[in-house]
Amino acid sequence: MTESIPSNPTQTEAQMKNPTLLSALLALPLLAAPDPAQATNPFFQTWKTPFGVPPFAEIKEAHFMPAFKEGMARHKAEITAIAESKDKPTFKNTVEAMEQSGAFMEPVRAVFGTLSGAETNANLQAINRELSPLRSAHRDDINFNEKLWLRVKAVWENRAKEKLSAQQFRLLEDTYKGFVRAGANLGPELKERMRAINAEQSKLGVQFGDKMLKATKDYELLIEKPADLAGLPEGARNAAAAAAKKVGKDGKWLFTLDGPSIWPFLQYAENRDLRRQILTAYTERCNGGELDTRAIASRIATLRTEKAKLLGYATWAHFILEENMAKDPTGVYGLLDQLWQPALAVAKKDRADLQALLDKDLPGIKLQAWDWRFYEEKVRKARFALDEEALKPYFALDAVREGAFRVAGKLYGITFTELKDMPTYSNEVKVFEVKEQDGRHLGIFYTDFHPRPGKRGGAWCGRLRSGHGTIRPIVTNVCNFTRPSGDKPALLTPDEVETLFHEFGHALHGFFYAGQYRGLGGAPRDFVELPSQIMENWAMEPEVLKTYAKHYKTGETIPDALIQKIEKAGTYGQGFKTVEYLAASLLDMAWHTQTEPKAQDAMAFEKATFEKLGLIPEIHPRYHTPYFNHIWNSGYSAGYYAYIWSEVLDSDAFQAFKEKGNLFDPATAKAFRKEVLAKGNTADPAKLYRTFRGRDPKVEPLLVKRGLK
């Protein structure tokens, strides 16, 4: 079975479905004659690949800009046809027609976005810098098209006469609100100011991302003396030796700021000064020098505050949160304030234990941030007899991935089959076909699990094609997990195991969306993490562990004694983890609850924020302002709290399975898929959750899980 992406210059699939839009387009003047180069540009061709996946080997960097420009031109023509139509505005000829427009550009945007995150280079970054203001202007041209806005407004005002389905009404409501929130009601001068703000924000976001990526990838801690490796596990040493060899420094050991490199070093390296060096490099990224982002961050915050004020909102947070479950900053602080003091109290208690151990090694020396993970690991070993290194042989990457697949199979009846010889953008990418229990094709799944020079840090789920209606999705999971070392496969840490399950949960959300419209396939920021985080709950359950945690050499199932140690140590370290996360969330809120658009000294602003909170100096926030990519360049502004908000939901939702006495209770799984995973943003998320659970979520399961109660 194969699927193709429509590529005819005048009739996209969406246009063929909408005769009104098609007839209006045909009445327009013809666009310029096709460029001969289009004949060799894959984005202008029908993709004759299995399931219509991108033909990565044929796509060159030079193909992107012509395809984007053509896509924007076609989209503009489609929008003009809708706006200039002489027919009375209706949901079908206006709102639905807009939803179906822009189809040509979707695969271009999806492929470019995927490569920009997972396999970027100087050329792609240059394209992004050139492209960013063009895309910003294109969006504004649509949002500020007065005739289009009047048609949308007319449909909204006559909505009671349209006899719309629930999904149609939701799309109309989102479309109408989208115009209002973009500034469609502003006067001409304010619209021009809004255009300038949007253009500058877009440019600054790209600059921030480029600087942060370079600062992260440029750092190297090169070790030449074996003595400086004391305490490090064999796997960490072997990985560092392989990294050094790869850059022509054979016989040495190279550590970087990529997660699989820095975190084991801080956890195990006995050389305290080297721990200080690498953590300082991590926390001081972009805080000065040629890669300084402090002024960029402050400027973005200033522009956001100004934009919010232009639109009639008190702060940027009020503007953003209006569309989230939290609704306003009071809702966010209502949750975060419940957690901050209990988490800080646990962290302070743990600090005393760590200081006591440090006193034995170095009397009179005060505990520092670069000591925390090292001594926390010592306490974990002493108190629970649990060594993370003893766990890793049971967490071979492929086995963990198959474990996640098996959980999804038991819950939802789906299967995953690896497809060989599929087009990919890296030889490290694996591809799977996802099928329903009855064999029907559900989607295609790309996995990309290891760090590379052109891959940004962290882990994320993306789309090479969004699913809606009869169109099946192509979903990606991109991570930065520990690499294979020597004759060993990639052996994951418990945190990496949970991350794999987390991103896989996002993928399931993409596969299961059953809505009619592409524009309703997402979810509010503080609800979208529910499908991902609930999957983490299964990862370390004893019943599930025994299905996938097999020793990579012997095949032995993880012993009960080791599982018991995991359970006993389950809440240890949660004070640190919760405080570092909440500190970043509260920093995000501080930046985005400013009431006046004025420049700030970024680090002075941050320092004052943490002093007010009482953050202890031994714990850094998970992200400092200069490298807080989530809020400056990744769509989480006034939204980083969403992980903990969603954790309230996922902890409570998982409890529904526990209450049934069956982690795979068929009725509960069916309800969760139907009422949450399949719905996307087709209804209010609070209503979706209540329909699934029968009530609003309770915070108690989260407090218990994190050891804060």
The predicted-structure confidence for 20-42, as pLDDT tens digits, reads as follows 444 444 344 444 455 777 889 99
Whether residue 68 is predicted with pLDDT greater than 90 in this model: the reply is yes
The model scores a pTM over 0.75: yes
**pLDDT classification of 104: cutoffs 50, 70, 90:** very high
**pLDDT classification of 709: cutoffs 50, 70, 90:** confident
CA atoms within 13 A on the CB side of 415: 10
> Is residue 203 domain-resident?
no
> Is residue 198 domain-resident?
no
> Is residue 517 domain-resident?
yes
Average pLDDT of span 641-645? 97
DSSP for residue 249: -
Whether residue 17 is predicted with pLDDT greater than 60 in this model: the reply is no
CA atoms of 140 and 142, how far apart (whole Å): 5
pLDDT, tens digit (0-9, with 9 covering 90-100), for 229-251: 999 999 999 999 999 999 999 99
Average pLDDT of span 435-461? 96
DSSP for residue 677: I
Average pLDDT of span 151-172? 97
Q: Give how far the C-alpha of residue 249 lies from the chain's centroid of Cα atoms, to the nearest Å.
A: 34
pLDDT, tens digit (0-9, with 9 covering 90-100), for 328-358: 999 999 999 999 999 999 999 999 999 999 9
CATH number at residue 338: 1.10.1370.10
Whether residue 356 is found in the same domain as residue 425: no
Q: What is the per-residue pLDDT for 487? A: 87
Tally of CB atoms within 10 A around 133: 15
Q: What is the per-residue pLDDT for 34? A: 58
Whether residue 664 is found in the same domain as residue 597: no
Tally of CB atoms within 10 A around 16: 13
Query: In which residue are the tokens 């769509």 written?
Result: 635
Q: What is the per-residue pLDDT for 12? A: 37
> Is residue 691 domain-resident?
yes
645 Cβ neighbours under 8 A, 6+ residues apart: 325, 326, 332, 335, 526, 529
Whether residue 539 is predicted with pLDDT greater than 90 in this model: the reply is yes
> Is residue 34 domain-resident?
yes
Whether residue 556 is found in the same domain as residue 648: yes
Q: What is the per-residue pLDDT for 169? A: 98
Q: What is the per-residue pLDDT for 11? A: 33
Token pair for 292: 């300084």
Whether residue 633 is found in the same domain as residue 651: no
Whether residue 399 is found in the same domain as residue 494: yes
Of 268 and 5, the structure prediction assigns the larger pLDDT to 268
pLDDT, tens digit (0-9, with 9 covering 90-100), for 119-157: 999 999 999 999 999 999 999 999 999 999 999 999 999
Q: What is the per-residue pLDDT for 388? A: 87
The pLDDT mean for the chain works out to 94
Whether residue 148 is found in the same domain as residue 86: yes
Whether residue 562 is found in the same domain as residue 628: no
Distances (CA, A) of 662 to 264, 532, 539, 647, 665: 36, 20, 15, 21, 5
Whether residue 649 is found in the same domain as residue 626: no
Burial class (CB in 10 A: 0-12, 13-18, 19+), 514: middle
CA atoms of 636 and 221, how far apart (whole Å): 31
DSSP for residue 91: I
> What residues are labeled active site?
503
> Is residue 249 domain-resident?
yes
Whether residue 55 is predicted with pLDDT greater than 90 in this model: the reply is yes
CA atoms of 357 and 363, how far apart (whole Å): 9
Whether residue 554 is predicted with pLDDT greater than 50 in this model: the reply is yes
CA atoms of 532 and 642, how far apart (whole Å): 12
Average pLDDT of span 473-488? 94
Whether residue 342 is found in the same domain as residue 249: no
For the chain, what percent of residues have pLDDT higher than 90? 93
Whether residue 4 is predicted with pLDDT greater than 60 in this model: the reply is no
Which amino acid makes up residue 133?
P
CA atoms of 195 and 147, how far apart (whole Å): 18
DSSP for residue 7: -
> Is residue 209 domain-resident?
no
Which residue range(s) make up the domain with 444?
393-568+643-705
Whether residue 503 is found in the same domain as residue 454: yes
Q: How many domains does the chain have?
A: 4
Q: What is the per-residue pLDDT for 19? A: 45
Q: What's the CA angle centered on 319, arms 690 and 623, to 5 degrees? A: 85
Whether residue 558 is found in the same domain as residue 701: yes
**Domain end marker among 640, 671, 696:** 640
Average pLDDT of span 447-462? 96
The dihedrals phi and psi of 539, each to the nearest 5 degrees, come to -55, -45
- In this structure, are residues 21 and 100 in contact, taking their beta carbons and an 8 Å threshold? yes
**Which DSSP helix (H) or strand (E) runs through 16?**
helix 13-17
Whether residue 586 is found in the same domain as residue 564: no
> Is residue 199 domain-resident?
no
CATH number at residue 63: 1.10.1370.40
